[in-house]
Amino acid sequence: MHHFASKDGVLHAEDVSLAALADEVGTPVYVYSTATLTRHYGLLAEAVAAHRNALGDALIAFAVKANSNLSVLATLARLGAGADTVSEGEIRRALKAGVPAGKIIFSGVGKTDAELAYAVGVGVRQINVESPAELDRLIAVAERAGAVPDIAIRVNPKIGAGGHAKITTGGEGDKFGVPADEAMDLYARAAASPYVNPVGLACHIGSQITDLTPLEAAFQLLRSMTETLRGRGLEVTRLDLGGGLGVPYAGGAPTASIEDYVAMTARVLDGLGVEAAFEPGRLLAANAGVLLSRVIQVTEREDGRRFLVVDAAMNDLIRPAMYDAFHEVVAVSPRAAGGDNNPTVYDIVGPICETGDTFARDRDLPPLQTGDLVVFTGAGAYGAVMSSEYNTRPLVPEVMVDGARMAVIRPRPTYEEMLAREPLADWL
């Protein structure tokens, strides 16, 4: 559930009219709802707390890659969330937003020595090691730093899942993690080093997963590996279950609910006596954000095809171009009934010079004209974070709403600012 709803014929984010917001801040712009973020975090935290027996004092570490805006992170940090990070930049953001280092997990397939040293230096909760080569580098970094970081070994369970091949991470041929047998040897090797402290196992098999079966299989594997490692005299106290639970982009109820998901994890980990960690990104943020955009024009073809040309483009929201992702498009102020108000079929496109800049084809919408506003829903995760200035379009701004309050939490840069970032080569 989210807090974007129509009031008096105008779509609102909580108590803020998106029409008024567009007039004030301009478009395109991302708009986030505090109440929605809070609700999603609360549902997950409640479900996790209800299964404390099986999951221990579990950490919910928001996957910063999904939405790294400092105000979004600070909102979640105040609710008690930790952070799942994949770069020094993300660790810096999480710390700045008020996430304690002790709640920050550092994951990723290619952490540099400098990033590892930074993470060790600030004392993150845990570094998830993804390969033997990385373990060697981390041991060297930790020895130089005179620290003994807690680590988990990320397992590649050879179970891939997710909404698209490009966001499946746990498959055999995927670059992530260490196959189970090798992972257990690596765990033993880590335990033999005085410079790292292996505390657990981690996995993340993909994103936008709507069927719990592959997740359950992966968690079962983590359980049996834990038992095997303990049988070898090694201590395992934490299991990091990754993120991945999908959201209903087309509205309606999710195919796998938060409660079912958490109950499944509790069933699998029951009696194991580990502390679980969850790394949700999309689940918390996707439906807490929309991309608000204005219609530039409607281009009609003789064959009847209608292109709704909007001022947002693939540089602002790349998911349709990159993953063929579905985002619902909703008119902010559909005209009052009467007149020519029949739904019209549109292809919704941005202004960028490639056909990939097509958000949706053959969508039914109320009749729209130049100046009207639409939103792309489900855009709070992997939206603004993946934006760019392609075609020298200013980086899309972000706004946070809380009840009747709103704040610009990333302003749109001016053209002067954009051009000033590029000093000419001194011979030009």
Neighbours of 89 (CB within 10 A): 13
Q: Which of 27, 38, 207, 287 binds ligand LLP (CB under 6 A)?
A: 207
Smallest gap from Cβ 281 to ligand LLP, in A, equals: 3
Q: Which of positions 187-206 make contact with ligand LLP (CB under 6 A)?
A: 204
Give whichever of 82 and 334 is closer to ligand LLP, judged by the CB atom.
82
Q: What sign for the dihedral angle of Cα 353, 354, 355, 357?
A: negative
Cis bond upstream, residue 28 (ω within 30): yes
Q: Single out the segment in contact with ligand LLP by CB under 6 A; choices: 10-18, 144-152, 177-185, 280-288.
A: 280-288
Sequence-distant (6+) residues with CB within 8 A of 406 are 13, 16, 21, 399, 400
Tell whether residue 242 is a contact of ligand LLP (CB under 6 A).
Answer: yes
Q: Single out the segment in contact with ligand LLP by CB under 6 A; choices: 220-228, 277-285, 332-340, 348-356.
A: 277-285
Sequence-distant (6+) residues with CB within 8 A of 23 are none
Q: Which of positions 316-375 make contact with ligand LLP (CB under 6 A)?
A: 319, 323
Smallest gap from Cβ 164 to ligand LLP, in A, equals: 7
Give whichever of 9 and 251 is closer to ligand LLP, judged by the CB atom.
251
Tell whether residue 169 is a contact of ligand LLP (CB under 6 A).
Answer: yes
Tell whether residue 91 is a contact of ligand LLP (CB under 6 A).
Answer: no
Are the beta carbons of 238 and 126 closer than 8 angstroms?
A: yes
Q: Helix axis angle, 113-122 relative to 132-145, nearest 10°?
A: 50
Give whichever of 203 and 409 is closer to ligand LLP, judged by the CB atom.
203
Looking up tokens 């030009």, which residue turns up?
Answer: 428
Of 30, 3, 23, 17, nearest to 332 by C-alpha is 17
Strand 329-331 and strand 306-310: pairing?
unpaired
Q: Single out the segment in contact with ligand LLP by CB under 6 A; choices: 94-102, 190-198, 281-289, 345-353.
A: 281-289
Measured distance CA(285)–CA(73) in Å, rounded: 10
Give whichever of 108 and 334 is closer to ligand LLP, judged by the CB atom.
108
Among the options 353, 407, 419, 420, which is catalytic?
A: 353
Tell whether residue 281 is a contact of ligand LLP (CB under 6 A).
Answer: yes
Tell whether residue 63 is a contact of ligand LLP (CB under 6 A).
Answer: yes
Give whichever of 63 and 266 is closer to ligand LLP, judged by the CB atom.
63
Q: Which of 84, 90, 130, 357 binds ligand LLP (CB under 6 A)?
A: 84
Q: Single out the segment in contact with ligand LLP by CB under 6 A; choices: 68-76, 94-102, 140-148, 278-286.
A: 278-286
Smallest gap from Cβ 325 to ligand LLP, in A, equals: 6
Q: How far is CA 303 from the centre of its chain?
A: 40
Measured distance CA(186)–CA(192) in Å, rounded: 10
Q: Is 203 assigned a catalytic role?
A: no
Give whichever of 318 and 399 is closer to ligand LLP, judged by the CB atom.
318
Of 58, 171, 53, nearest to 105 by C-alpha is 58
Q: Which of 107, 126, 156, 287 binds ligand LLP (CB under 6 A)?
A: 107
Q: Which long-range contacts (CB under 8 A, 24 or more apart) does 55-59 make?
A: 55/262, 55/265, 55/266, 55/269, 55/275, 55/276, 56/273, 56/274, 56/275, 56/276, 57/275, 58/275, 58/276, 58/277, 58/278, 59/103, 59/105, 59/125, 59/275, 59/276, 59/277, 59/278
Are the beta carbons of 31 and 289 closer than 8 angstroms?
A: yes
Q: What is the number of the residue whose Cβ is closest to ligand LLP?
A: 243
**Any idea which residues carry the catalytic annotation?**
353
- Positions touching ligand LLP (CB under 6 A) are 63, 66, 84, 107, 167, 169, 204, 207-208, 242-244, 279-283, 319, 323, 381-382
